[in-house]
Amino acid sequence: MTTQANVYESTTSFSGLAKRINDSQRIIVTTHRKPDGDAIGSVVGLCRGLQSIGKDATTLLIGPIEHGLRLAVGDTELNVVEEIGLPSEDPDLIIVVDTGAWSQLEALEQWLRDHSEIVIGMDHHANGDAVAGDRVVDTSAAACTQLVMELFDVMNISFGSGRNSVAEALFIGLGTDTGWFRFSNADARCFSDASRLLEQGIDRYQLYRTLEETARPARMQLLERMLSSLEYVGPVAIMCIRSTDFQETNGSSTDLIGLVNTPMVLENIQASILLTDTDPTVTKMSFRSKPSIPGQPTSLIDVNQLADKFDGGGHIHAAGARVFSTLEDVKARLIELLKEI
């Protein structure tokens, strides 16, 4: 059983992290299961940057990994624990990025606990556990890759240029975690960082096409089934994808990335929630919400607080949870909670 930290905040500075890195040679970089663009961008960007200063930096990921992300990272090797197992040799340092939650690191939890003295972390989420003793947490950052940028500025590590560069990997995280700069977290800092990365000559349109326009036909079939399950509880849309839907469409959870946002195009919808059960006893919940608009009679729905009711978390407008219960039970509980909003 895992215990959530009472306070999830920074315990060191970027200079402190830099010292730990400089004192290490063999470094493994990891992140949460089913990594999204920000997680992959942070891991790959870190590895590329550390390799450029002579470090033996490698990835270690918990799958599955979306097809488009595999294409986008080019020549960087993605080591998936389900495929290669745990490292046979101990590293000097382990860096955990874009999460601080044990619930998102189950396949690596015991390994990380066994090596707790050499684990450091960077995260931009509001909730987490004491996965890394030395960590920097910045919830004002739109993407974790922005924290990697700050670290590299402290370490005087170049972003490189063009294809397969540090800059390209970091832009993947910044682009995907802001909905390609459409979401409310795309603030002035975000655009300033994006400008710095674009100045390195990366092809943002090609990245967008690779990440957003290389879907499999199963995605359209799952979208159809998801929308057919759509129901409303006040200003909240609820949708479901069941294990049978995956089986009948030959789809997987990676085909669902971003689909939870679909109902948000409706004027009266303030939040959207997608429930999935690839396992009959485990239900995954994805939450999204809109920011409030000054002068308009709409109330903000903090989905981070809502996810917390299911032992999950994330951000005010994007969060997730994994519940060890059937989809129908979770849905019934969710509806009762939403009626209280």
Rounded Cα–Cα distance for residues 225 and 218 (Å): 11
pLDDT of 297 over the 60 cut: no
Q: What is the mean pLDDT of residues 94-118?
A: 97
Least confident interval from 4-8, 50-54, 238-242, 275-279: 4-8
The pLDDT value given to residue 83: 96
| Euclidean distance between CA atoms 334 and 4, whole angstroms | 22
Q: What percent of the chain has pLDDT over 70?
A: 96
Query: Tell me, what's the pLDDT at 278?
Result: 80
d(CA 69, CA 46): 16
Pairing of strands 26-30, 93-97: parallel
d(CA 70, CA 309): 33
Category of 241 on φ-ψ map: left (φ > 0), alpha (ψ -120 to 50) or beta: beta
For range 316-337, the mean pLDDT: 95
CA distance 126 to 128: 7
| Confidence at residue 202, expressed as pLDDT on a 0 to 100 scale | 96
Say what percent of the chain tops pLDDT 90. 90
Average pLDDT, stretch 121-150?
A: 97
Average pLDDT score over residue span 326-338: 97
User: How far is it, in rounded angstroms, from Cα 147 to Cα 123?
Assistant: 8
Distance CA 41, CA 101 (A): 19
Closest-CA residue to 74 (of 171, 193, 216, 181): 171
Report which secondary-structure segment, H or E, holds 252.
none
In one-letter notation, the amino acid at residue 332 is A
The pLDDT value given to residue 23? 99
Report the pLDDT value the prediction gives residue 301, as an integer from 0 to 100: 93
- Residue pair 34/254 in contact (Cβ under 8 Å)? The answer is yes
Mean pLDDT over the full length of the chain: 94
Give the residue-averaged pLDDT of 251-267: 94
Query: What is the per-residue pLDDT for 298?
Result: 61
Q: How far is CA 59 from the centre of its chain?
A: 16
Hey, how many other C-beta atoms are within 10 angstroms of the C-beta on 250?
11
Token pair recorded at residue 150: 């700050």
Pairwise CA distance, residues 151 & 292, whole Å: 32
Residue closest to 310 by CA, chosen among 286, 340, 278: 286
Instruction: Report pLDDT for 90.
Output: 97
33-90 pLDDT, tens digit each: 999 999 999 999 999 999 999 999 999 999 999 999 999 999 999 999 999 999 999 9
- Does position 203 have pLDDT exceeding 90, yes or no? yes
Query: What pLDDT score was predicted for residue 151?
Result: 99
Closest CA to 240 of 152, 336, 124, 335: 335
Whether the per-residue pLDDT at 220 is higher than 50: the answer is yes
Q: Is the pLDDT confidence value at 159 over 90?
A: yes
Dist. CA 246–CA 105, nearest whole Å = 24
For 196, phi then psi, to 5°, come to: -60, -40
For residue 49, the SS3 value is helix
Write the pLDDT tens digit of every residue in 23-42. 999 999 999 999 999 999 99
pTM of the prediction? 0.88
d(CA 88, CA 57): 15
What average pLDDT does this structure show over 306-319? 92
List domains and CATH numbers for the chain.
14-212 (3.90.1640.10), 217-338 (3.10.310.30)
- How high is the pLDDT of residue 317? 92
308 by Cβ neighbours in 10 Å (0-12 / 13-18 / 19+) ranks as middle
